[in-house]
Amino acid sequence: MDERLAPGAGPRVPVIALNELVGELTPVLWHVARAAGLGREDAEDVVQTAWESLLSHLDTIREPAALAAWLVTAARREAWRVAAARRKTQPADQEWFGAIPDPRASTEDRALLAEEQRAVWAALRTLPSRCQELLRIVAFVPRPDYDAIAAKLGMARGSVGPTRGRCLEKLRRALDHGALDHGPLDHGPLDHGAAG
């Protein structure tokens, strides 16, 4: 057994134990760095930095069982730091910029959108009142709470989804049959400025 001591490790950490630890934990640290989305070179740097950090803080670790967790935490934090620095310095691909739509809609686009919205609201007004109310509730919620809808509309929770489907089908038919002859835009109580 090699009785040399790891630098700054105090008299209880022989070099051979540290070498075994490096052999066991380096693959774990490697996976931690790669899981953060780092490339090979950055991951190697993160692993090296984690080990260097351990050597400089070895005298502060009181519980040997905590050593692996300490190393993983150090590697994870370093990987996050490196990944964040990469994001800040990575040049943007010009093709990527071309794929971003112009946030300013043209006057023609806004007019077409307003016309489509008027058609939807006009078609909605042709539906039975129960469908109108149900569709107005779910129109602006990505994941509607069916329990709350059922309570508000006085219906069984299990019938909310099927009723919603039937109401949407009625709305589609109304749109197909040209509910375009409509009056002024009236969004009712849920007007969220959708007409823009």
Angstrom distance (rounded) from CA 107 to CA 64: 68
User: Which residues in the chain show pLDDT less than 70?
Assistant: 1-16, 90-103, 105, 141, 179-196
pLDDT at res. 60 = 80
| Best CA proximity match to 44, nearest among 67, 26, 22 | 26
Task: Say yes or no: do domains 15-90 and 107-190 share a fold.
Answer: no
pLDDT at res. 174 = 92
- Own/partner contacts of 39-47, CB < 8 Å, gap of 24 or more, are 42/79, 42/82, 42/83, 42/86, 43/79, 45/82, 46/75, 46/78, 46/79, 46/82, 47/75
Q: pLDDT tens-digit profile of 88-101?
A: 776 655 565 566 66
| Best CA proximity match to 170, nearest among 121, 137, 124 | 124
Angstrom distance (rounded) from CA 145 to CA 149: 6
Domain 107-190 top-level CATH class:
mainly alpha
Taken in order 118, 123, 127, 133, the sign of the CA dihedral is negative
pLDDT at res. 182 = 46
| Best CA proximity match to 46, nearest among 54, 137, 63, 8 | 54
pLDDT at res. 147 = 87
pLDDT at res. 16 = 57
Angstrom distance (rounded) from CA 75 to CA 53: 9
CATH topology for 15-90?
A: Rna Polymerase Sigma Factor; Chain: A (1.10.1740)
pLDDT at res. 67 = 82
CB atoms within 10 A of CB 192: 8
190: amino acid identity, one letter: L
Alpha helices in 90-127 (DSSP H): 94-98, 107-125
Angstrom distance (rounded) from CA 105 to CA 113: 10
0.85 surpassed by pTM: no
pLDDT at res. 92 = 58
Phi–psi pair at 14, nearest 5 degrees? -70, 155
Domain borders along the chain are 15-90, 107-190
pLDDT at res. 76 = 92
